[in-house]
A and B are shown apart, each in its own frame.
Chain A
Amino acid sequence: MNESSEKAIWLLFVEGDLNAFSTLFKLFYDPLHNYGLKISSNSEITEDCLQNFFIYLYDNRTTFGTVKHVKSYLFVSFRRALLKSLKKERKYTDLNLAQENSTAFEFSSEELMVKQELTKIRKEAVAILLNSLSTREREAIYLKYYSELPTNRISEVMDISYQSVLNTLQKAFTKLRHHLEKHEIKQVFNLN
């Protein structure tokens, strides 16, 4: 499914076509579900919020104006909705408040595929390195390589400028590369 057929289906959905709505749901449920889990680490909140989000979309379909890019539009709106309901939740579970931010966008080694430059290094090491980045850097990496959003759309989703997305990615990869180089050198000397 390419961008413009997503848009064609979106326009039918705006006209109230339930078939088009179902198509959008099937296309984007999975990527939004995964994104929600990465933000909240809580599948119950994510799924409740997603259900309400899709119902909200249907009820308000005529009020959205022109949508340029369907996928990023859904990511932006869902992110906002989820953060709002997490905030509400925090009132009751104050203990988790401090950790909430730091656990967002944590990666596990099972999520990584060993490829190209990373073949020599164990996946665990890469996961640890990724998790040592800031939450913002991790989210940018997630949106670019997991959700496969174009860089200009990532800036919309994260509500920062295009330049800051580039900066963030650049910082993240510079850090990663220097860590990896050090790690490789260590491996060379640790021939046990």
Chain B
Amino acid sequence: MGKCNQSLLEILLKDSSFNNWAKKSNQNDMAFWEKWIREHPDTIETVYTARDIIIGIAFKKDILPEEKINKELNAVLAQISLKKEIEDAKKVIPINRNPRAKFIKYSAVAAIGLLVIVFGNIALNSSSEVTHKTGFGEIINLKLPDGTSVVLNGNSEIKYSKEDTRNIALKGEAYFKVKSIPATKAKFWVNTKDLKVEVYGTQFHVNTREKKTDVLLDEGSIHLVLDNGDTTEMVPGELVSFSKENNRISQQKLTTELPYALWREDTYVFNNITLEEVMKNVKHAYGVVIEFNDEELKHQLLTGGIPNQNLKICLSAIEKSTGTQIVNKDNKLILFKNSNN
């Protein structure tokens, strides 16, 4: 076996012109390297090894069927949420021991048992459950069986059972136009991690992205049931934010002074919102990373409508209204101060 020159091998592997020769993809490079090889016959062993490493071995990929992967994913997701429920149930057990501790311990065990049963049921009834899910940067318009229309923003999900199509669960961000059914006065529910929205027929916006849920009412009236059991009524033009984590609620009428961010169909409306918050909306909906070249930019306020049909349009509107420059480098958005300002 001939000798192979390590440093030459490394140089050749990194050389794009040599790569073209190995793959026979560029006439000029091919001519150059044929000549070079003739002039350096002692390197032939290294040259061939480098060529072989570049061409490599072509494998036929064995691709698993999508159903198989989804089945595995569902099993993992079920385990994750089961674990979470059990942990939440454990938190109920008081740390200090008292005469009732044993009783509480037993009831906690019973609670876990119950959860398992609930999960079993979900799994059994999974065929009757409907899920609509959007990917990053995808917006869909949905018509629910009862005539209610829902616009689902990117990276969001709604779920309901076929038996109860007016009781839905939401993760992410959506705009609802609930069809009222005057004859039966049937209610419509939107459930989030923090609260439950109860309505007859209205238009409203729900956002669960951060560690809270925002509800903004446009028309009609809404009854909210918070995760802590409290309830509140909303009138049109009001914005409610509730987080079960810190158990804090804010309920305010939208005014021009109040900072707020809302989303409908394909537009974001911001009022006195910092650029940092604005970019958080973009991050969640499109699955991008945000970087500020200049810390000062984070605190700049934005007021106005930002179209949101796609990432490009959205970014160019933000650039224009804030006097910034946003560079999209492989899904990493870097914000610069515009040099003209």
Cβ-defined contact, B55 with A54, below 8 A: no
* Given A12-B287, A29-B73, A177-B49: A3 touches B55 (CB 8 Å cut-off): no
Interface segment among B35-43, B59-67, B181-189, B259-267: the answer is B59-67
Asked if B75 is at the interface of the complex by the 8 Å CB criterion, the answer is yes
Cβ-defined contact, B157 with A4, below 8 A: no
Cβ-defined contact, A111 with B59, below 8 A: yes
Least CB separation from B330: chain A residue: A4
CA distance A137 to B5 in the complex (A): 19
CA distance A167 to B53 in the complex (A): 11
Tell which of B61, B135, B284 has the most Cβ of chain A within 10 Å: B61
What is the total of A-B residue contacts with beta carbons within 8 Å?
128
Cβ-defined contact, A34 with B62, below 8 A: yes
Of residues 5 through 28 on chain A, the ones whose CB sits less than 8 Å from some CB of chain B are: 5, 7-9, 11-12, 17-20, 22-23, 25-26
Of residues 275 through 299 on chain B, the ones whose CB sits less than 8 Å from some CB of chain A are: 283-284, 287-289
Cβ-defined contact, A29 with B330, below 8 A: no
Interface size in chain B (residues, C-beta < 8 A): 48
Interface of A is mostly: helix
* Given A18-B77, A59-B83: A7 touches B52 (CB 8 Å cut-off): no
* Residue of B6, B52, B83, B289 touching A173 (CB-CB under 8 A): B52
Asked if B48 is at the interface of the complex by the 8 Å CB criterion, the answer is yes
Cβ-defined contact, A33 with B49, below 8 A: no
Residues of A contacting B62 with CB < 8 Å?
Answer: 34, 111
| Interface 1/0 per residue, B3-46 and A, CB below 8 Å | 01010011001000000000000000000000000000000010
CA distance A31 to B10 in the complex (A): 28
* Residue of A23, A51, A113, A167 touching B75 (CB-CB under 8 A): A51
CA distance A115 to B59 in the complex (A): 10
Residues of A contacting B6 with CB < 8 Å?
Answer: 163, 166-167, 170
* Residue of B9, B53, B60, B79 touching A113 (CB-CB under 8 A): B60
Cβ-defined contact, B60 with A110, below 8 A: yes
Residues of B contacting A117 with CB < 8 Å?
Answer: 52, 55
Asked if B95 is at the interface of the complex by the 8 Å CB criterion, the answer is no
CA distance A170 to B59 in the complex (A): 19
Cβ-defined contact, B155 with A19, below 8 A: yes
Asked if B337 is at the interface of the complex by the 8 Å CB criterion, the answer is no
Cβ-defined contact, B76 with A30, below 8 A: no
* Residue of A4, A47, A115, A178 touching B58 (CB-CB under 8 A): A115
Cβ-defined contact, A166 with B10, below 8 A: yes
Of residues 21 through 61 on chain A, the ones whose CB sits less than 8 Å from some CB of chain B are: 22-23, 25-26, 29-30, 33-34, 47, 50-51, 54-55, 58-59
Interface segment among A65-73, A76-84, A92-100, A140-148: the answer is A140-148
Residues of B contacting A2 with CB < 8 Å?
Answer: 330-331
Cβ-defined contact, B79 with A169, below 8 A: no
* Given A19-B133, A177-B48: A25 touches B57 (CB 8 Å cut-off): no
Asked if A112 is at the interface of the complex by the 8 Å CB criterion, the answer is yes
Cβ-defined contact, B58 with A113, below 8 A: yes
CA distance A71 to B238 in the complex (A): 45
Asked if A132 is at the interface of the complex by the 8 Å CB criterion, the answer is no
The 9 lowest CB-CB distance pairs between A and B, nearest first, are A4-B330, A113-B58, A173-B52, A5-B331, A115-B58, A145-B56, A146-B59, A8-B289, A145-B57
Chain A residues within CB distance 8 Å of chain B? 2-5, 7-9, 11-12, 17-20, 22-23, 25-26, 29-30, 33-34, 47, 50-51, 54-55, 58-59, 110-118, 126, 130, 141, 144-146, 163, 166-167, 169-170, 173-174, 176-178
Q: Could you give 11 example pairs across A and B, Cβ below 8 Å?
A: A4-B330, A25-B69, A29-B69, A29-B72, A30-B64, A51-B76, A111-B59, A117-B55, A145-B56, A145-B57, A173-B49
